[in-house]
Chains A and B, each alone.
Chain A
Amino acid sequence: MEKSDIINVSKNRGEKGNYVKPILKGLQFTMGNFFKKPVTIQYPDQKTVRSQRWRGLHKLNVDEKGELKCVACGLCAAVCPSQAITILAREDEGGTRHPEKFEVNELRCIFCGFCQDACPKSAISLTKIYEYVNYNREDFVFDISILKTTGEKWNS
């Protein structure tokens, strides 16, 4: 490493200093901020806007006919680092695959978003919902009926 890449920060450090002046300087900074608009918000009443890419609770998407886009290929379950997704597949007479069981354990989930990145049918996506409560841990194992309508419960 060359000498010009280095700065010595403690060269000018003063051992003496006095009590009054720096405190007044600090108070000057405080007073400078005192009359500004607050940066905080009153949380439950006011909320900040979430970004378009926010990774919140899962949702299963449906097509125009109202049927699940999911074909139960199991890629989201395979890519999930925390093994939060369980899928059982069923095949109808036409040979089309549907999920018999699709469960997401929201308490295991670490919201990495790998499932929505991996899905070839854009069938699973993450919503912008970030605040959710339930009375039991079991209620956080979301099945198809909940995943289809994620958001109705908490967004109201």
Chain B
Amino acid sequence: MSESKTVTLNMGPHHPATHGVLRVVLELDGETIVNATPVIGYLHRGIEKICESRTYQQILPLTDRLDYSAASANNLGYCVAVEKLLGIEVPKRAQYLRVIMAEFARIMGHHLWLGTHALDIGAMTVIFYAFRDREMIMAMNEEIAGYRLTPSFIRIGGVAYEATDDFIAKVRKFVAWFPKALEGYHQLLTDNKIWTTRTMNIGKISAEEAINHGLTGPSLRGSGVAYDVRKAFPYSSYGDFDFKIPIGENGDVYDRYLVRMEEFKQSIAIIAQAIENLPSGPVMTDNPLVASPSQPEVQTDISALIRRFMVNAKGTPVPSGELYSAVEGAKGELGFYLVGDGSEQPYRLKIRSSCFYLASALPRLLVGHMVADAIAIIGSLDVVLGEIDR
């Protein structure tokens, strides 16, 4: 009797290595995966629908909760989209502060990825160092914005508050210190034979296939495609900074790892340039439709008071029209497709979540590998379910 049967294995939604509530239904032949189906939707909060009944300002804290490991990058993407539709210019100082916050968000996202990815594969040490350094960035978020994980610091038309001296000093200290910490991560993982055995030639995807699956961000660059929204379509003064796009060659888990490790370095280089060349000036546009007047103005000037009521209670009327605007989030191209109908609330806001495309490539990547490699592959794609399910 030689009958071959496959076994169905449910991985998730409460599996610690699926990074949230991703569920993957694996069909196994022995220990080899013959079929994989990702099941999503366990974290669906209907953010896109909620946005249709909120003013443009009120949507902003919701975007923090998309990719919660890199919240400021989502804020930036949304604000850039709305500002394009409004046709307003953001002051240079605000643009630089935005860049600093977005790059900190990228580093925070990569810290989370590095720690959990290594933990999944069995290297327990790394997460402690990664989270030690992530905590420093959280302290800086707290210093400037008042909140650690979801700062909501980037607002439509600029940023919420002026940077404090303490913040600038902390950023300088961090920029000077971080390369040493990064060297430590490399020391722990990069040449380690156990690490390379688990990651090299696992989850390989060619450049063409990666493009066809719609991968973006580090996962695409690991396959050797040099596409980065920051370079291809610069926004928020990214053109002013000198930085490089890391790419891989083989498109496997190890190359995606190397690409992200290099991105740490490039992000810190951008922050260093931004903090040294921080221009002076206002941090909020003076467009009366967007900017809420300052507190002393409101106390003395009745028209300022009325304007504050209009901006905050009624919202900003955005002209009718539609546009797609994308930024480079921590995981890839984060796009916002915005339809305005002349009112204060968007007619439709569609979020192009990079993680959705990463998760949809899982069936292609997992087939043919062992169950233990599935963990490495999911970790290397760095999906965040808050962004997939929205």
Q: Using a CB–CB distance below 8 Å, which chain A residues touch chain B?
A: 1, 5-11, 13-15, 17-19, 21-23, 25-26, 28-30, 33, 39, 48, 50-51, 53-55, 73-75, 78-81, 110-114, 117-118, 120, 122, 126
Contacts and interface: CB of A to CB of B under 8 A. Distances in A.
Contact of A9 (B60, B125, B248): B248
A117 B232 CA distance: 36
A5 B231 CA distance: 9
Given A54-B146, A112-B152, A114-B57, 16 more contacts: A1-B231, A5-B243, A6-B246, A6-B247, A7-B262, A9-B248, A14-B191, A17-B191, A21-B191, A23-B193, A26-B188, A29-B188, A111-B147, A114-B61, A120-B295, A120-B305
A117 B247 contact: no
A48 B136 CA distance: 12
Contact of A19 (B193, B246, B254): B193
A23 B313 contact: no
A1 B246 contact: no
Task: Pick the 6 closest A-B CB pairs, nearest first.
Answer: A53-B146, A78-B313, A81-B58, A22-B191, A112-B61, A9-B258
A78 B249 CA distance: 53
Contact of B244 (A5, A23, A114, A122): A5
A129 B188 CA distance: 38
A112 to B, nearest CB: 4
A9 B262 contact: yes
9 contacts: A5-B231, A5-B243, A9-B247, A10-B254, A33-B129, A78-B312, A81-B58, A81-B59, A81-B60
A22 B192 CA distance: 5
B249 A8 contact: yes
Given A5-B245, A17-B193, A81-B61, A53 B145 contact: yes
A83 B108 CA distance: 30
B62 interface: yes
B207 to A, nearest CB: 13
B271 to A, nearest CB: 18
| Interface core residue of A1, A48, A73, A79 (most chain B CB under 10 Å) | A79
Nearest to A14: B191
Interface string B119-157: 000000100010010010001001111110010100000
A9 B146 contact: no
A75 B309 contact: yes
